[in-house]
Structure 1
């Protein structure tokens, strides 16, 4: 991976006005937006089939003031969504970017649904941690794999060109830090060069690069990485080599509920509907309503680096609406017990400690008090037999820090100036989750990928259309 100096003698094998590196949700949405504006482009994807980390996610995208919300009587506004994002990250994110994400979220979701036939639905039944309204939008099966399939169908219908098995290894950059083209490598080692007038980095973060994770997120250096292996920090490394501004490199999305050894994501809906996590000593160790991202490090701090998700028949029945949960159930990850003593014996947990855990929850619910971790227990959500349990561990899903951008998704210098023709979105760009794992509000990853992807595509198209009319790039 390198920055190659561009000179006027440099020749490329081909040329396109716009190139997009990365074929996940971010890159595909950017391509749809730019092509709709009349721009000729190509998406460069390292894999044989575009999937990215999106396909490994739950596929939930938060959005405010959508027709899907209004149809179900949910009154939400971009201002409330922005406030929720900033409250969770401790007001560490760039307010201008937060405002863009919140304001554009609804229109982008409706554009994808109406113009490109993505079958979005509003997820009902529970609020994810930190959200004050129901605003998660997902496809019917509630999987990122289904979301990616819908996006791939949309780009195919739109006629977007995707070059697969095309791993970008070099950026050709001139003295003004204008990207002039890329070198891509094929699986057989052969290389091609493509010139461009603008470039969008949609190649996510550095979660798959152990050296960078150890440097920037040491608390999760031993966490299982549950993201795309191609997230090696290419955008970050290119940006640093070009001398651009980077921010919040310690930010990430972890998850404290990855079934192990099955490696299946268990939705945090289990916790939000009344579930708990206990360690091998039969004790709770945190407020499970604080957020699933910061929960990853808390689970990893427990003996054997595991916990048990404990819930009941009511929650189990509701979770069957999630395909990932059904997969975990069919794989044998979900265990059922008629009584606490059976669960203690079956999971090798000390019965007295488990009974004390349940007694404490009942006491807090009865007395309407808050436990030592800050959680309240509603009597209607207390767990009742039969019980269910899933063995889980903490995982790193993706990083949230990256290249600093302005509200048009243009990459900035440390002095705050926009580079001539470089854009970044999704995990390649600085997100809105603050500086650590605790600022991640549910859905921030796909929010940045999808909404900033659309913004980057529109902004790059506006720049290129200006060139078309004036003859030069500004």
Structure 2
């Protein structure tokens, strides 16, 4: 993939317009930052490459983990805290996530969700029927629709109500810096080929990871080179390319969110709640092959390692009722993904395995005590059985520009660039440098908490600059 992602050096630029903060990318991160900047009285402009903002957020389930929110407390969860959440993040990442960033996100996400609810009308609910892998408390928040598309629509509506400018079909290609490494503007390409310039006092990269750049995936994530990509094609690695040109430090490029429940051939995510509550993954040989409760991200690699790179999610009627609570599953079912099997023989025919092997796999679920892989089942599965064919997919990357806890981009020597900020997919996250480090919700945690912190930092930089110049 050949990208025009340039750094322009100049003492000044002849820009058509000027704003306090230019925000590259109008996903959850950029939209959150814009709302927080508006609340702080700082003008900003969002620039979005697509005609309609969507990004990875719109393709996700829209679930955001956060401790100590008003909604969480209203639901009777009083024993959660930023410290407990941070411990869960680090436990999943085996201690390999950046400690300062973990702490910053864990402390910022609760107040960010409360602010979005109180000031911008996002009506969160708490998903308290089950725990996602790695979480020790019920802290997963969503809008009532339980989709990423609904989250994007709500954030866009709030931005529209606030009157924040959003330039769509504006493909940012050039970042402009002065001789002191201070961002002074950006150049963006319009559909007719024109380049326009926007000056700024601070610049926030809230744009993307690199999951949609096949060349970068092959080089940095070789185990996912042939996997389906379930993310947004705009994840082309722009932020990393700009960072390399600037001499910025990069971090955790081997970290990513996979998903071991990519419905095939329909192409949709099936909720991992079904696995957590007793569902199993069975390969073409009729066998389970991992502890499904360890997480859906690392499950992607394990599913891809099975014969044909596929598995079957197998569950029963009570778990089907749970699955029906998630719109993504309902859409996949409507597209023909769900198979009903009234007997083990029918299920074996569906999977393509022999009946005795499958029967032994299902019988083993009734055993008292842990399975050989360590999983403990509360009950077995009962006919009728339901099955969905899945593969492993790459959803979004978790590595990127190295940032401090204030979201400012760091040079190779660890010093911060004066007014270049990065968050969300553009920055290194809190999942460490491997697929197994991804804690459920880490992507939107980075986007929303990172966007809120970035706004706070950008607002302070803009105000300081204006005070210095007597504005």
TM-score, structure 2 normalization? 0.97
Q: Which runs of 4+ in 1 moved over 6 A?
A: none
Can you give the 5+ residue segments of structure 1 that lack an aligned partner in the other structure?
none
Cα separation, partners in 2 of 1:361 and 1:222, compared to 1, 3 Å: same
Specify which of 214, 233, 244 is matched with residue 237 of structure 2. Answer: 233
What is the rounded CA distance, in whole Å, between the counterparts of 2:357 and 2:193 in structure 1?
A: 58
Q: Indicate yes or no: 2:25 matched with 1:27.
A: no
1:114 equivalent in structure 2: 118
Q: Check the 8 A contact 1:3/1:173 in 2, yes or no.
A: no
2:14 equivalent in structure 1: 11
What is the rounded CA distance, in whole Å, between the counterparts of 1:406 and 1:43 in structure 2?
A: 23
- Paired residues, number: 467
Q: Indicate yes or no: 2:54 matched with 1:51.
A: yes
Q: Give a deviation string over 1:412-469, Cα, whole Å, max 9, x none.
A: 1122211011000011111000111010000000000001111101110111011111
Q: Give a deviation string over 1:21-68, Cα, whole Å, max 9, x none.
A: 001000000111112111111000000000110000000000001121
1:391 equivalent in structure 2: 389
1:374 equivalent in structure 2: 374
Q: Check the 8 A contact 1:179/1:198 in 2, yes or no.
A: yes
Q: 1:181 aligns to what SS in structure 2?
A: strand
Q: Give a deviation string over 1:364-389, Cα, whole Å, max 9, x none.
A: xx2x2x2222211123xx21111110
1:441 equivalent in structure 2: 439
Q: Cα offset for 1:8?
A: 3.2
Q: 1:230 aligns to what SS in structure 2?
A: coil
Q: Check the 8 A contact 2:13/2:199 in 1, yes or no.
A: no
Q: Give a deviation string over 1:389-417, Cα, whole Å, max 9, x none.
A: 00001000000011111111111112221
What is the rounded CA distance, in whole Å, between the counterparts of 2:72 and 2:459 in structure 1?
A: 30
Q: Give a deviation string over 1:315-347, Cα, whole Å, max 9, x none.
A: 101111111111111111011111211111233
What is the rounded CA distance, in whole Å, between the counterparts of 2:357 and 2:190 in structure 1?
A: 57
Q: Give a deviation string over 1:286-334, Cα, whole Å, max 9, x none.
A: 1101110011011111111110000010010111111111111111101
Q: Check the 8 A contact 1:6/1:180 in 2, yes or no.
A: no
TM-score, structure 1 normalization? 0.97
Can you give the 5+ residue segments of structure 2 that lack an aligned partner in the other structure?
none
Q: Check the 8 A contact 1:173/1:180 in 2, yes or no.
A: yes
Q: Check the 8 A contact 2:303/2:311 in 1, yes or no.
A: yes
